[in-house]
Structure 1
């Protein structure tokens, strides 16, 4: 399986993922290849090539209805990206210009960093779970 970072490095694949995300928020149960082609203005062979890469990375699932295929987002593999990225979102380093954090001893600053990272990650997981609830 390809490295998830290599998979999402391609702009067309990110556009497809974003389209599938938007469609899932709109309550759609899958998006046809023709809809992706029309919306993104990319050729059908190009879309099919990218969908194959996304399928192999398990970022999309496919449902077949007759001769039609409908693709849906499967965001679980992006957890690896999330795990890598979250520590960069809040370094937890005290701001020397902020009197409330400038006086923190190193151990308290470290504890604040750990708690801050855990909170950011938990917030992200909770927001994603809430988005998956019906009617949202």
Structure 2
């Protein structure tokens, strides 16, 4: 299997993932290849090629109905990326707090750092939990 970062590095594949996310958020149960082709303005062979890569990376699932195929987003591999990125985001937040500490007293800067880290962690935990709920 290709490295997940190589898979999502391609702009067309990211566009497909975003389209599938938007459609699933709107309550759609899968998106047809023809809909993806129409919305993205990309040729059908190109879309099919990218969908195969996304399927192989377990980022999408496919449901067949007759000659039609409907694709849905699978978030588990993206959760792994999210988990990998969180420590880097916390570093950025710490640097931002450090940069602003010249304006704040040291005790206030420390409190802001603690609250900011707790909020970032809580946000990540909640988003991960919501993604794992049935029907998401």
Q: 1:60 to 1:40 in 2, by over 3 A?
A: same
Residue 120 of structure 1, CA deviation: 2.3
Q: 1:57 to 1:128 in 2, by over 3 A?
A: same
- Write out aligned runs for 1:57-136 (5 A): 57-91=57-91, 92-93=94-95, 94-95=97-98, 96-97=101-102, 98-99=104-105, 100-101=108-109, 104=110, 112=114, 116=117, 119-130=119-130
Q: Which runs of 4+ in 1 moved over 4 A?
A: 131-136
What is the CA deviation profile of residues 3-62 of structure 1, one whole-angstrom value per residue up to 9, with x for unaligned ones?
Answer: 110000000000000000000000000000000000000000000000000000000000
Instruction: State the match for 2:36 in structure 1.
Output: 36
Structure with bigger helix share is: 2
Residue 112 of structure 1, CA deviation: 3.8
1:33·1:70 contact (CA, 8 Å) conserved in 2? yes
Distance 1:124 1:54 in 2: 24
CA RMSD of aligned residues (A): 2.9
Distance 1:122 1:73 in 2: 24
Paired residues, number: 128
1:33·1:44 contact (CA, 8 Å) conserved in 2? yes
> Normalization by structure 2: what TM-score?
0.80
Distance 1:129 1:24 in 2: 17
Unaligned runs of 5+ in 2: none
> Normalization by structure 1: what TM-score?
0.80
Q: 1:20 to 1:125 in 2, by over 3 A?
A: farther
1:25·1:131 contact (CA, 8 Å) conserved in 2? no
Q: Secondary structure at the match of 1:88?
A: helix
